[in-house]
A = this chain, B = another copy of it.
Amino acid sequence: MKSLAECIADDIMSMIIIEGRFHPGEKILNESDFAKELFVSRSTFREAVKILSERGVLIVRHGSGMYVSKDVLENRENRFKRYESKIDALELNEIRMMIEPETAYYAALRASNHELKRIAYYGQLVENKIVAGVTDRRTEEIRFHLSIARAAHNSFMDRLAPTIFDAIDKSRNVFNLEEVRQGTLLDHRMIIQYLNERNADFARTAMRSHMLRGIQALKMER
């Protein structure tokens, strides 16, 4: 569990590197105004600033104010990665739960016939691995779920795809629980069937149930 000051530090970091509200080298709001906007006490705010100074994000010049480090965006990629590395399998599956039922919904409405065939084909590859008792079926799972995401025909899906991979990758421990294996067989078949029937609401619900199963297994594993 993060402390309040750590949360506030993350918020300020997000304002700089995500929102672009304060630029490299720029002076940020004074302590009193900023603490007020963030609805925290000045002492919590000061603690957050200390965390960010230690990370090299903020520079405090006594008597002058707080400045954003000049090279904060130069290694933005690296900072961002470190920032993200903490995302665990459960958080990733929470995101999948938001996105994939909707992609199944849109895929049922928008998939071309050749896309439907391809989804069924990748589904079959997953099934073959499960039936053969092969322990690693990550590649096939990724292709199955990605082929559905792409069939939703929303150009943004490609940006989300790495998250789907990452979530599948980090969930591999639960792949071989017997209930997950059997559940996956049923879920995938239902999803494919509803997609083929162009039944968008049912496709969404089947994907939702599939995601729930994964989340439940991850929670039991903890």
Residues from chain B with Cβ under 8 Å of A39 in the complex: 113-115, 117-118, 121
In the complex, what residue of chain B is closest to A87 when comparing beta carbons? B155
- B7 near A40 with CB under 8 A, answer no
- B4 near A38 with CB under 8 A, answer no
The reply to whether the CB of A92 lies closer than 8 angstroms to some CB of chain B is yes
| A18 touching B112 in the complex, CB below 8 Å, given contacts A117-B39, A150-B11 | no
Residues from chain B with Cβ under 8 Å of A84 in the complex: 155-156, 158-159
- A158 near B18 with CB under 8 A, answer yes
Residues from chain B with Cβ under 8 Å of A83 in the complex: 155, 158
Residues from chain B with Cβ under 8 Å of A162 in the complex: 18
Chain-B contact segment, one of A94-102, A191-199, A213-221: A94-102
| A40 touching B114 in the complex, CB below 8 Å, given contacts A11-B150, A155-B83, A155-B91 | yes
The reply to whether the CB of A178 lies closer than 8 angstroms to some CB of chain B is no
Give residues of chain A (25-74) contacting chain B, Cβ–Cβ below 8 Å: 37-40
Residues from chain B with Cβ under 8 Å of A19 in the complex: 142-143, 146, 161, 165
The bracket for how many chain A residues form the interface is 35 or more
- B91 near A37 with CB under 8 A, answer no
A interface secondary structure, majority: helix
Identical subunits present = 2
- B7 near A112 with CB under 8 A, answer yes
In the complex, what residue of chain B is closest to A106 when comparing beta carbons? B94
Give residues of chain A (90-129) contacting chain B, Cβ–Cβ below 8 Å: 91-92, 94-95, 97-99, 102, 106, 112-115, 117-118, 121
In the complex, what residue of chain B is closest to A77 when comparing beta carbons? B77
Residues from chain B with Cβ under 8 Å of A97 in the complex: 102
Could you give, for residues 152-166 of chain A, a 1 whenever the CB lies within 8 Å of some chain B CB and a 0 otherwise? 001110110111010
The reply to whether the CB of A86 lies closer than 8 angstroms to some CB of chain B is yes
The reply to whether the CB of A173 lies closer than 8 angstroms to some CB of chain B is no
Residues from chain B with Cβ under 8 Å of A155 in the complex: 83-84, 86-87, 91
**Nearest CB in chain B: distance from A188 CB, A:** 18
